[in-house]
Amino acid sequence: MSRRLALLTLTLLVLGCTRYNSRAQGPFNRQPIPTNPTLAQGTLPAGKSALVLNTPAVVLPPAPPDEALPVPPRPPEPAPLGTAFAVPQAPRPPVVKDSSVVPAGGAAPAAGRRPGPGTPNPTAGQPQDTNLAALKKLAQLAAEKWKSIDTYESRLVRRESLDGTAGPTEEVIYQFRKEPMSVYMRNVGEAGKGREVLYNPGQFGDKIHVIVGEGDTRFLKAGSKGPSLSPDSPSVKAKSRHSIRESGFGRPVNGFAGLVAKVEAGKLPPDALKYAGLVRREEYGESPLEGVVQTINRGDAVLPGGGVRHWFFDGNPGSPSYGLPVLVILFDANGRELEYYRFSQLRTPANLTDADFDPARLGKK
């Protein structure tokens, strides 16, 4: 009896487990994967799995060519270390060659920063003793040459800027007598053509006697005599940076000698004056000049803002003006030209007499 009861219990347990599996109520319910013809053809995108929880697997058709991708493209891989990249450079201005100044040897000056437009570069790294010796020799030669001159006649080209306005380029016949100091000028160029200026304070008082030139004034006709004026008159000072009392080579010769003496005494920096050697300029053709660059610091009495003055001495021993400062150009701190004075065709002695410096000669051909 007990055996039958045990057998019956075992049978009931086996039947209960079978019915539990058939209900599909277990904790790991697995839905059958539906058959998809697309999947069967092997069109599943690479790297994708067809297994999706609680949803049938669906493969989306590819996007049209002109449709934006839902995911941005992968950025390019960074360049490996050691790959060289060209760093963008700021545009450089074109190199402008200045042919107005050429060393006497015929070769162009070395490239570098110029002290002013159309001017030579001082010799780089020149010893101070050598520089000072050259300056002293130049000053001595100019002083000796000027001492030997009593009268001279030359061509003068001058240009001045007044109150920030550039003046015209004037071409002048220039006559000078040292003792008694007298000067006569006549404009032969287009600017102020026909103007005559005479100054002989020792014989005709401290007055400037003038014949009006073309374009000088609207009140007087060109060729007529103008009023005699003092060099200190405001109307006279307004037309020139320098007084007529400073005429002649004496002022630049003595002024340059004074600068050299100050450099030697330590009253000016050693680089205030730099000897530039023999150079050539277009205005003088093949005739060599000796150049000097003067640096003017801020606070100067004549040029408060500072600037640069370029001295050119006649370097041709066979020239009548040998050793004299025949060309002097002044620039302000911004490189703008303020003064330009050029002497050429100098004749000395000029055998000038009192009649050449008499106001009675004015207006006569």
Q: What's the CATH number where 321 sits?
A: 2.50.20.20
Q: For residue 241, what are the contacts with CB-CB under 8 A and spacing of at least 6?
A: 160, 162, 338, 339
Amino acid at 209: H
Evaluate if residue 109 carries a pLDDT over 90.
no
Q: How far apart are CA 189 and CA 214, in angstroms?
A: 10
Q: How many domains does the chain have?
A: 1
- Does residue 246 form part of some domain? yes
Q: How far apart are CA 234 and CA 110, in angstroms?
A: 46
**Model confidence over 224-264: pLDDT tens digits?**
999 999 999 998 998 899 999 999 999 999 999 999 999 99
- Does residue 330 form part of some domain? yes
Judged by average pLDDT, the poorest of 80-94, 176-190, 304-318, 345-359 is 80-94
Q: How far apart are CA 89 and CA 241, in angstroms?
A: 45
What is the span of the domain harbouring residue 319? 128-361
- Does residue 47 form part of some domain? no
Which pLDDT value is given to residue 316?
96
Average pLDDT over residues 58-68: 45
Evaluate if residue 265 carries a pLDDT over 60.
yes
Q: For residue 120, what are the contacts with CB-CB under 8 A and spacing of at least 6?
A: 101, 103, 109, 276, 277, 279, 291, 293, 310
- Does residue 190 form part of some domain? yes
Specify which residues 199 forms β-bridges with.
183, 208
- Does residue 234 form part of some domain? yes
296 band by pLDDT with thresholds 50, 70 and 90: very high
Q: How far apart are CA 259 and CA 357, in angstroms?
A: 33
Strands 196-199 and 182-187, by their bridges, are: antiparallel
- Does residue 98 form part of some domain? no
Which pLDDT value is given to residue 127?
78
Residue 250: name the closest of 238, 258, 262 by CA.
Answer: 258
- Does residue 333 form part of some domain? yes
Q: How far apart are CA 156 and CA 344, in angstroms?
A: 7
**Model confidence over 278-290: pLDDT tens digits?**
999 999 999 999 9
Which pLDDT value is given to residue 79?
44
Which pLDDT value is given to residue 4?
60
- Does residue 112 form part of some domain? no
